[in-house]
Amino acid sequence: MTTIKETRTERDSMGEMQVPINAYYGASTQRAMLNFPISDLRFPRQFIRALGQIKQAAAQVNEALGVVDPQIVEAIVRAAQEVIDGKLDSDFVLDIFQTGSGTSTNMNANEVIANRASELLGGARGLHKVHPNDHVNFGQSSNDVIPTAMHLSALLSMEQELLPALQGLQKALEAKAEEFMPVIKTGRTHLQDATPIRLGQEFLGYAGQIERGIARVRHAQSELSEVALGGTAVGTGINTHPEFSARVCQRLSELNGVTIHETSNHFQAQNTLDNIVEASGALNTLAVSLMKIANDIRWLGSGPRAGIGEIDLPAVQPGSSIMPGKVNPVIAESVCMACAQVIGNHATITVAGQSGNFEINVMMPVTAYNLQQSISLLVAVSRNFTEQCIKGIQATTKGPEMVERGLAICTALAPVIGYDASAAISKEAYKTGKTVREVACEKTQLSEEELDRILNPESMTKPGLDGGPAGG
């Protein structure tokens, strides 16, 4: 038996629509629900929060400019705060795959805030004591509000979540670098043995990647701080006060403790997503860095007997349903999968960035979703990688034990006996199974004391001719 849900009649510029009686959204949102039954993907909480902040700040500025009645503004501000706080999330119902400008979602916000504000003024939902267009959307267009919300939500997520997560990871890697600095092991280039390196130096390299990733995120924030608000429909600023955008940006900056400023060129700000493509590029690079680190960690911990086995990773769960005792590097694997998703998201954002004609980009919603998902994934895996893997890594004795048997330490002999003679010693050591030191003792006139000095692995881990020239 079909249950008929109780409805009310709402109206927009296209006519009447039946809307669930308890919904705060109205006719435009209902039309969009019917038009776009595409997926289960919805705008994330961070984006809805930013949208609520923009509507609230816009109302306050419009009151100060004398263009919207103070009583209506007070109700809008209260309703928008409920959007900001997540109390009305269930009314933000629209699919990501919708109108390319995000107009449907802008109207979703306008209708929810207008109906809730009308209710706060003693009216009923749908009676429009507060009008979604004339009051909540005054001085705005979907074409400048949606990109502004995209920038603001991503900027705040980077500031409040991503940067702290990355700083924690950098700190953990630096701590391991210091702990492992006494551990000398065989370096590897092209997956082949190379001159000695300290395990701590390897981890110092990982910390350096994250340090530079943090700098790239800060650059991304500078790109996102420039917003389109104030351009309205096509960048000309029609139907908005000349001071509107600057004043709203100031309020948003003060509210969030970050810098938001009106673009100096509204036409580029609305007909491109260039700032977002650039910001996503920084996230893409960070994902590449994290994947490199995670894969190195997997390799260094491989084995434990038949692999490299130079580090022990924390055992967090059984690794096999059939092989008892097997433990896998699952935390590092999860990092790699999340990073693959971020890299894929950047590909989508890249396509979206060139998907506009003339005065508007028409792939904003999917861009907003992918950008926010990339940030959220990088936050989660950075924190999890730090706490469940990096902090618990221990060095084994396998790395130092293999240094003496390494062939590339013959590099230190090259300044003394020449490259060709050193190469011959290396090949002989490989062929016979002897160490480089043993073959050099047989094939050269160098004393044991001289060989001790030349083939000292510690001296090979720092710059200088005493350790021989670099090899690649």
The catalytic site residues sit at 190, 320
CB-based contacts of 190, cutoff 8 Å, min separation 6: none
Please work out, in degrees rounded to the nearest 5, the angle formed at the alpha carbon of residue 80 by the alpha carbons of 79 and 81.
90
Q: In a 10 Å sphere around its CB, with 0-12 CB exposed, 13-18 middle and 19+ buried, how is residue 189 labelled?
A: exposed
- What are 310's two structure tokens? 């130079």
Please work out, in degrees rounded to the nearest 5, the angle formed at the alpha carbon of residue 46 by the alpha carbons of 43 and 51.
75
Sequential DSSP letters for 287-344: HHHHHHHHHHHHHHT--SSSS--SEE----S---SSSTT----HHHHHHHHHHHHHHH
Q: Element (H or E) spanning 192, and its range?
A: strand 192-198
CB-based contacts of 264, cutoff 8 Å, min separation 6: 226
Q: Closest Cα partner for 144 from 271, 278, 275, 274?
A: 271
- What are 398's two structure tokens? 């396998």
Contact criterion met (CB below 8 Å) for 118 and 129: yes
Q: How far apart are the first and last CA of the chain?
A: 75
Question: Which residue, chain included where needed, has tokens 């038949």?
Answer: 306
CA separation, residue 391 to residues 178, 293, 394 (Å): 12, 14, 9
Sequential DSSP letters for 244-255: HHHHHHHHHHHH
Q: Closest Cα partner for 292 from 336, 341, 328, 347?
A: 336
Distance CA 246, CA 433 (A): 74
Q: Closest Cα partner for 17 from 101, 111, 92?
A: 111
